[in-house]
Structure 1
Amino acid sequence: MKKILLSLGSILFAGAILAGATSAFVMDTEKSTGNTFASGVIDLKVDNESYVTDENGKLVFSPSTSWDLSGLSGKLFFNFLDIKPGDIGEDTISLHVNNNNAWACMNINLTSTPENGVNEPEGLVDNTVGPNQGELQEHLYFVFWADDGDNVYEKGEKIFKKGLSKDIFNGEPWTLTDSETSIWAGSSGYAYQNGSWKYNNTCRNGDPIPGGSTKFIGKAWCFGDINENPLNQDGKGKTPSNSSGQVDNGPLVRGTGFVCEGSDVGNIVQSDGIGLDVTFTAVQSRGNENFVCGDEDEGEGGNEYCSHGYWKQKQHFDSWVGFGPNQQFSSVFENAFPGKTLLQVLQLGGGGLNRLGRETVGALLNAGSVDFPLTQAEVVSMFNTTYPGSLDSYDTLTEMFALPESCPLN
């Protein structure tokens, strides 16, 4: 099975509410979008269009959390350092699947709830001072829906997940579309497919995302209590700027479709924050007709990982399975490093292609020796599909190969 993961890290911080002090507040938290993932069977791309309440209480475009199709490095879904009660944000994520029909899943994991210190107003109502004893997650509400690309929650568009951060961001998989269900089934609106907009009235449960199509996920957050106020469906979908550079639909023109009320939020959340990891998964539907998001029998293997630093040490050469240190890189992969052996590629310094080379050889060896989520054949195919390519594509594949250190070998 070929699987592509996109991870993003996100952080939100609450600023001062009633008194003057403010404090600052993402998967790679290091990893995130404009994502071009290519595995030979699936080419998943992601972009994001984001809006947030500014210091004047007005909804504005958020360039720091918006991007076109690009590499993951440095891209964040959330990066708001001074949110206030009543603030609202809205994003629409675009999922682009090329070439092959695909199932898609996502999950969001709450990784931290920093207190970030306690100022005088907060100290009067909050006696928790530990590094992960903040309360923002108890007051930050999220809604996710099947959008048509216009960043507006409209009548007929289906909400598939909503709740407080503390309740819904538990790392459990969310189905976007698998062999049993689809968030886009029965949701009115438009989708982009094969170069044109088509009304989304044919998607059914059990249908994969068609190759060559774009699907949209809307997400809104509110620092306080959120009320749904869906707008009439305008049938325009994602509308580009006109000749004057203006857009005649979207949240700046029509509103988000939600109302956020923050009057009941008190001083207990001053300076508190949350950290989030967001993951998207795309799996080819061909050959995986019964795929279900979160199915324990997906057969993707585990998450054991020994670093390239482990594999290049002489005393660990006996752990190499299927390949030898002195074997030419070009005998396994595309000839990205002429004349160099697998060991010599492991020893390369620097970033870009060299970094990808190190992690590729490491992934190849992990796939043969530990419970790694890819097979050796998949590692080879993924590298050969990516090379030659752009720096962004190299960085993306590197992030897929490099897991947290969890080496069971001695």
Structure 2
Amino acid sequence: MKKILLSLLSIGVVAVGAVLATQAFFSDEEKSTGNVFEAGALDLKIDYKSTYTRDRVVYEGPHWEWKDLTTEKFFELSDVKPGDKGEGTISLHVFDNNAWGCVNLLPTMNDDVSSTEPELKVDVENTDSIFDGELAQNMQFRVWADICDSGDNATGVDSVVARPGDNIYQEGCDRPLTGGTGPITPMSWALADSQHPNVFTGVVEPLLGSHDYYLGVEWGIPDAVGNIIQTDKYMADVSFYVEQSRNNPRFVCRVPTQGEGQSLKLENETPVVGGPWEVIEDEVYANLTWTGDGATFNYSLTGQGLAANTDYALIYYADGWPGNNPGAFIGEGATDGSGNLAFAGNPDLGIDLPMPADGNYAVGAKLWLVLSSDYNSGNPSTGPMTAWQPDKYLFEGNVYIHYNDTDIP
């Protein structure tokens, strides 16, 4: 029986072969050529207009058509006084995909600058810190989603017809984002993210691509503030960040928080009279990472472009000079013959960063990379600074950190 089946199988194969050899089948071919995957674009552009009111006279402030921001400033005023106020309208345009969006504020100065005789009657003497001023705390700000549209009907507020972007806050119609005194610590607000309602729509959803969004901004100095703000200077960096929402359902706006891995780029800087130092854009820098809060400060540092075969100390510098308020030695390493640097450690600092006596306590701690020979005359296990050669150091780039030593009371 097995032989019969094999024979039949052989015959069947031969028969099929004969059919293939003698038949012409219908056929067709469809071809798709030039297949392309092209990445979409996500680009945020901003336009702006503003006014400034003093002595009840309204002056035009900074303004520009929509663009990518480089050196533009929303506010740049040099002689503000109690009773002054101003406003601005920020228009956001996300091209051309839907996106989550955040606005971040980083204070870079709230300085007393100098102490006049009238100011000293209500304030203490000026210190070395650039965060010893009172201007920020005595200014009032309000930021809102300027969405109110009353059509042709007046809102009842001075018989005004409301329009999106008119920069007139309509209570109960426009949506508030934030308000209060000037922030002196880094802040972040969600325009739209996965955990907060979209400030423009009130629904948890992203910003729509190719759509105009308006933020209104008001600031003012109350009449009653008085002499305590004389000569003070408040500066802050404002940044807007967008990130694609598609395939990104859990995005959340945030500032760095304690208890998580963090990083800081240390760079060489140049002094600026009356303002924060400016970063020199070159290839001389160090990257510092640490694991966040803990019983020890677990860190690693790599650097390049430094002086060759030289000892460097990583320190916490606590204003004012010489930085022992109290400052702290964190670690030390030596560069190789090419100026590259790498070291790590886990010291028990025994203090939080910053400490209350630090002149920058309100905003955070400064970490510097300095010549070991300039820190306590070459005995870097303790401070303070005993020499000053800033062109040979790396600084925190006006980014102040927070660290909680968890094994101290």
Q: TM-score, normalised by structure 2?
A: 0.48
**Structure with the largest fraction of strand:** 2
Is the radius of gyration larger for structure 1 or structure 2? Answer: 2
**Structure with the largest fraction of helix:** 1
Q: TM-score, normalised by structure 1?
A: 0.48
